[in-house]
C-alpha cells in the first residue's frame, strides 16, 4: 500500500464513522499492516487481502460488498524496478486496472478515482504541465500508468461511467516504504550509512506531505467532476543533491560542506532520469484545495517517524541498496 493510500484509509475511517471503509491489499513486499494499527479494530474498517489481477475474485468482491466509491491506489510504483521488470509492471498496473474498472462499472459504482502520477507527462526543464498536456512517459512505470489511464478514461467516453483521474507530485511522510528517496536517505543516515545519489543528483522533484495529499483526495471525492483529470501538485521543488544535504544537516548536525560530502555517495544513474515534473494545479485550487504543510514541518515529522518505525516491514534492509535487489515478484505465463 502506498504512503498516500494508507493515510487516506486512516483519514476516511476516522472522519466517516457511518461509512464502511474496505481496504483491499495484496500485501506485496512494500506493504505493512502495522501502518494501519490505529484503525484495525474500528467497526467501520474492513481489511481484505486480495489481488486486483484476479478477475473472479474482484467480481465476487463487488457482488458481496455494497461498494459505492472506489479509490484505486494499487500499483507497482518503483521506477528503478520497472526497468528490470517492465512486463510485471504492465500486468499489475494496466491489466489490474482493467479488471478493477470493469468490475466497478458492472457493479454501477457511483465514482471511480484512478490515482496516477505526474510522471506520465515525462520530464521538462521549463514547461509546466496542465491536465491537457500530452503524455510522454519515459520509463516503464510511467508508461504503464499512462496506459492504465487510457483504459479508465475509455469507460467515461464509452459508458459515461463516472471516473476521475488524479496525477500527483511525489508524496512523502510516515508509512512510506524506504525504497523511495526521502525515507531511503533518512533511514541510511539513521544507520550511519551514506546517501546514494543516482547520476548527478541535479534532477528536481516536487514533494507533497502525506496529509496534504489526503485533503486533496477528500476534495476529489466530494467535488471532483466525472470525466475530469486533476493535477495534485506543489510549487515546492528540490534537487536530489539538495535533499540529501538538507537531510544530512538535520540528522547528522553537520557544520561544513566537507562534513556533508562525507555522507554522500554518487552511483551510476538509472537508464533514464527525468530532470523535473513541474505541474499546474489550478483545477484543484478551484475546488478549494492547496497544500498547507511547510517542508520543514513535514520533514521533521517524517524523520521522527522512521527513527521508531523503520522495521515495520519485513526484510526492509533490501530497500536501502542503491539499486533494486528484489527478485521478480510474480510469474507470468505468456505461452
Catalytic, 118? Answer: yes
126 catalytic per annotation: no
Q: How many CB atoms sit inside 10 A of residue 185's CB?
A: 26
Catalytic residue among 45, 141, 177, 306: 141
Considering 51, 80, 88, 119, which one is annotated as catalytic?
A: 119
Question: Is 19 a catalytic site residue?
Answer: no
Q: Which of 25, 80, 118, 149 is catalytic?
A: 118
The x, y and z cell numbers of residue 85, run together, are: 521488470
CA angle, 64 then 217 then 285, to 5°: 150
Could you give the residue numbers annotated as active site?
Answer: 118-119, 141
Amino acid at each position: 500500500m502506498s504512503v498516500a493510500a494508507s493515510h487516506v484509509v486512516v483519514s476516511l475511517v476516522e472522519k466517516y464513522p457511518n461509512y464502511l471503509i474496505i481496504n483491499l491489499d495484496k500485501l506485496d513486499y512494500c506493504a505493512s499492516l502495522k501502518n494501519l494499527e490505529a484503525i484495525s479494530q474500528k467497526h467501520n474498517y474492513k481489511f481484505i487481502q486480495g489481488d486486483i489481477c484476479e478477475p473472479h475474485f474482484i467480481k465476487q468482491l463487488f457482488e458481496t460488498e455494497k461498494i459505492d466509491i472506489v479509490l484505486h491506489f494499487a500499483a507497482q510504483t518503483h521506477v528503478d524496478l520497472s526497468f528490470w521488470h517492465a512486463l510485471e509492471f504492465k500486468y499489475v498496473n494496466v491489466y489490474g486496472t482493467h479488471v478493477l474498472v470493469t468490475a466497478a462499472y458492472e457493479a454501477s459504482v457511483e465514482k471511480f478515482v484512478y490515482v496516477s502520477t505526474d510522471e506520465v507527462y515525462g520530464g521538462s526543464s521549463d514547461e509546466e504541465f496542465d491536465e491537457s498536456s500530452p503524455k510522454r512517459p519515459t520509463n516503464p512505470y510511467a508508461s504503464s500508468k499512462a496506459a492504465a489511464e487510457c483504459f479508465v478514461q475509455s469507460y467515461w467516453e464509452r459508458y459515461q461511467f463516472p471516473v476521475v483521474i488524479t496525477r500527483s507530485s511525489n508524496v512523502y511522510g510516515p508509512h512510506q516504504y524506504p525504497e523511495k528517496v526521502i525515507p531511503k536517505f533518512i533511514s541510511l543516515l539513521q544507520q550511519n550509512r551514506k546517501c546514494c545519489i543516482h547520476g548527478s543528483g541535479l534532477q528536481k522533484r516536487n514533494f507533497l506531505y502525506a496529509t496534504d495529499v489526503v485533503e486533496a483526495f477528500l476534495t476529489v471525492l466530494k467535488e471532483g467532476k466525472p470525466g475530469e483529470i486533476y493535477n495534485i501538485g506543489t510549487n515546492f521543488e528540490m534537487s536530489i543533491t539538495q535533499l540529501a544535504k538538507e537531510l544530512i544537516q538535520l540528522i547528522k548536525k553537520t557544520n561544513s560542506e566537507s562534513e556533508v560530502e562525507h555522507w554522500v555517495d554518487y552511483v551510476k544513474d538509472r537508464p533514464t532520469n527525468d530532470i523535473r515534473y513541474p505541474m499546474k494545479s489550478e483545477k484543484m485550487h478551484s475546488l478549494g484545495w492547496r497544500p498547507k504543510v511547510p517542508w520543514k514541518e513535514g520533514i521533521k515529522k517524517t524523520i521522527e517517524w522512521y527513527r521508531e518505525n523503520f522495521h515495520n516491514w519485513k526484510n526492509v534492509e533490501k530497500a536501502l541498496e542503491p539499486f533494486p535487489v528484489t527478485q521478480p515478484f510474480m510469474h507470468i505465463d505468456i505461452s
